[in-house]
Amino acid sequence: MSIAFVFPGQGSQAVGMGKALADAFPSAKAVFDEVDAALGQKLSTVMWDGPDTELTLTANAQPALMAVSVAVMRVLESEHGITLAKNASFVAGHSLGEYSALAAAGTFSLADTARLLRIRGDAMQAAVPPGQGAMAALLGVDFATAAAIAAEAAQGEVCQAANDNSDGQVVLSGAKAAIDRACEIAKAKGVKRAVILPVSAPFHCALMQPAADAMAEALAKVKINAPVVPVIANVVAGPVTDPAAIKNNLVAQVTGTVRWRECVGFMAAQGVKVFVEAGSGKVLTGLAKKNAPEAVAMAAGSPDEIAALAQHLKG
């Protein structure tokens, strides 16, 4: 049974996430303690007690989501003997989740990953002044049509496909006026829905170039190991194990498209039969069911879900 572990991105955060894991498992609590120490902040308090407005801040949400994902993997190992090296064919993560995947696969230390995501969150937030950028989800549209809508709407401004999540769900990102135009064009072309997203910055577009530069500088200063299993990188939708390529892909990912539909499709084509979403929420579980309907998709974020997963994998 070929298994892939996938790791959620921003938007999957929720106050209280990871608390049940920390209460039940010392291996999970150790993860949150180490992230708190690496950041010099009680991020775990924000995660468990809120307020939601503070947890949602990009600079907090990114390391927080990673911490929950890594805690899940540590519990799977400590309680059930399930490891990536032994049990997984691939790992992949959606946007910031790629860092979670790399941390789980031993490419970065936990402390370095937390610090990288704090830098990434701060840099992405600072790249575009509030109100100047926007993102919109186009529903009921394929990628080629969405990309054409973005090109038509640009009119000299930045407007590009940021997330190719599934057939029927593509997110555009760019200058606010261009995104507003894209929504009108989409409606005129009969797209089912065009929804402005409640995000604080226009992620995964050319406006994020200052953040890409910041990540190039930060990644040059950390130790990058080869992962224990291939990572399916967002920007190439294929397997990567070379540390230099991993670094280059992470820099490109800040301004590039998250090719999630293709990432899941690649893994399914390689024989993956089970997709496990390790961390908070069930967004990627839903997308796996759309992108690889013949596979099993399971979420593992709570003690009960982890137990159910372990039972399934052993069964």
Q: What is the CATH number of the domain that holds 180?
A: 3.30.70.250
Looking at the fold, whether 169 and 246 belong to one and the same domain comes out as: no
Over the stretch 249-268, which tens digit does the pLDDT of each residue have?
Answer: 999 999 999 999 999 999 99
- Catalytically active residues are 95, 204
Q: 137 to each of 19, 106, 128, 301, how far by Cα in Å? A: 31, 33, 19, 26
Over the stretch 167-213, which tens digit does the pLDDT of each residue have?
Answer: 999 999 999 999 999 999 999 999 999 999 988 899 999 999 999 99
- The domain of 144 spans 133-199
Looking at the fold, whether 248 and 308 belong to one and the same domain comes out as: yes
Over the stretch 49-94, which tens digit does the pLDDT of each residue have?
Answer: 999 999 999 999 999 999 999 999 999 999 999 999 999 999 999 9
What pLDDT shows up at residue 315?
A: 74
Name the residue among 20, 137, 140 with its Cα closest to residue 72. 20
What pLDDT shows up at residue 1?
A: 72
Name the residue among 239, 238, 260 with its Cα closest to residue 143. 260
Looking at the fold, whether 34 and 179 belong to one and the same domain comes out as: no
Over the stretch 104-123, which tens digit does the pLDDT of each residue have?
Answer: 999 999 999 999 999 999 99
Work out the number of other CB atoms within 10 angstroms of the CB of residue 65. 33
Looking at the fold, whether 106 and 236 belong to one and the same domain comes out as: yes
Looking at the fold, whether 87 and 193 belong to one and the same domain comes out as: no
The tally of domains found in the chain comes to: 2
Q: What is the CATH number of the domain that holds 274?
A: 3.40.366.10
What pLDDT shows up at residue 312?
A: 93
Name the residue among 100, 95, 117 with its Cα closest to residue 203. 95
Name the residue among 12, 242, 213, 234 with its Cα closest to residue 119. 213
Give the pLDDT band (50/70/90) at residue 11.
very high
- 237-250: average pLDDT: 98
Looking at the fold, whether 28 and 175 belong to one and the same domain comes out as: no
Looking at the fold, whether 122 and 169 belong to one and the same domain comes out as: no
What pLDDT shows up at residue 198?
A: 86
Q: Say if strands 296-300 and 2-7 run parallel, antiparallel, or are unpaired.
A: unpaired
What whole-number percentage of the chain has pLDDT above 90?
A: 97
Looking at the fold, whether 93 and 227 belong to one and the same domain comes out as: yes
What whole-number percentage of the chain has pLDDT above 70?
A: 100
Of 199, 217, 251, which residue is a domain's last? Answer: 199
Over the stretch 129-179, which tens digit does the pLDDT of each residue have?
Answer: 999 999 999 999 999 999 999 999 999 999 999 999 999 999 999 999 999
Looking at the fold, whether 146 and 122 belong to one and the same domain comes out as: no
Looking at the fold, whether 104 and 222 belong to one and the same domain comes out as: yes
Over the stretch 273-290, which tens digit does the pLDDT of each residue have?
Answer: 999 999 999 999 999 999
Looking at the fold, whether 220 and 291 belong to one and the same domain comes out as: yes
What pLDDT shows up at residue 8?
A: 98
Return d(Cα 263, Cα 260) in angstroms, integer. Answer: 5
**What's the pTM?**
0.97
The answer on pLDDT for 44 being more than 90 is yes
Looking at the fold, whether 253 and 189 belong to one and the same domain comes out as: no
Of 149, 168, 199, which residue is a domain's last? Answer: 199
Of 176, 199, 222, which residue is a domain's last? Answer: 199
Work out the number of other CB atoms within 10 angstroms of the CB of residue 184. 12
Instruction: Work out the burial of residue 258: count CB atoms within 10 Å of its CB; fewer than 13 is exposed, 13-18 middle, 19 or more buried.
Output: buried
